Amino acid sequence: MLIVEQKISGVTMIDLESELKFMAQEYGLSEKQVLNWWRTAVRQIWANSPFLDKLRKEATYKVVNENTRTMKRFPEVARIDCVKCKKAFSPSDMNLDHIEGDNKAESLADAEKFMKSILFTPRSNVQWLCDDLQRTRNKKKVTISIGCHSIKSQVESDSTLTEKEAWVIREFGRIKKYENVVDNIKAFNVHSIPKLKKDQESLLRELLLENMSNE
């Protein structure tokens, strides 16, 4: 096994980029495959960290369960507030977002910076944002609404977008995957439907953006 070390102020440091490149060569994988594995591994470590667990417990509070099907068994349910939309959601529908950070990791040279950005972040740099809401329909999980975390991620991937434009991109993608484009156009009381699929999709995007602008 290759161990590339550097001594900085008497402390031995591992050269992470070199180690990951060695693993790619050792197992005959591309650097992209190794980078994808590393990103996933770091995010899983954060998701199971005692830091996230502590912050989740601190943010969680109880409210009266208003669901008539479950209220007898569970008179109270846990909720966390989204700092963006100010709505309350189940903890399972929330994401502890890193407000700022070098979280793209486009090459193995970014691996260490990515790890530090995700794992070693101060409390002041995280916030609770709602995730896309998913529910089970016909034994399959489907996304029923777009969360604030998805919108923020879309804006981060393209800084020219407004939050409304980012929502339209995500909502349009959700509709294409789980619903019917024509039915959604009709829901806006539009009865003159274009024949071509690309024109239908363009019209729906325009309607979604117009509806968001009016809110």
Neighbours of 115 (CB within 10 A): 19
Higher pLDDT, 8 or 191: 191
Q: What is the pLDDT of residue 6?
A: 46
Band of pLDDT at residue 173, cut at 50, 70 and 90: very high
Q: What is the pTM of this model?
A: 0.85
Binning pLDDT at 50, 70 and 90, where does residue 13 land?
low
Cα dihedral 187, 193, 195, 199 sign: negative
The token pair at 172 is: 């349009």
- Token reading at 14: 């591992």
Q: What single-letter DSSP state applies at residue 89?
A: E
User: Which DSSP state fits 132?
Assistant: P
Answer for the pair 42, 120: CB distance below 8 angstroms, yes or no: no
The span from the CA of 53 to the CA of 49, in Å, is 6
Res. 32: pLDDT tops 50:
yes
pLDDT tens per residue, range 35-78? 999 999 999 999 999 999 999 999 999 999 999 999 999 999 99
Q: H or E stretch including 165?
A: helix 163-178
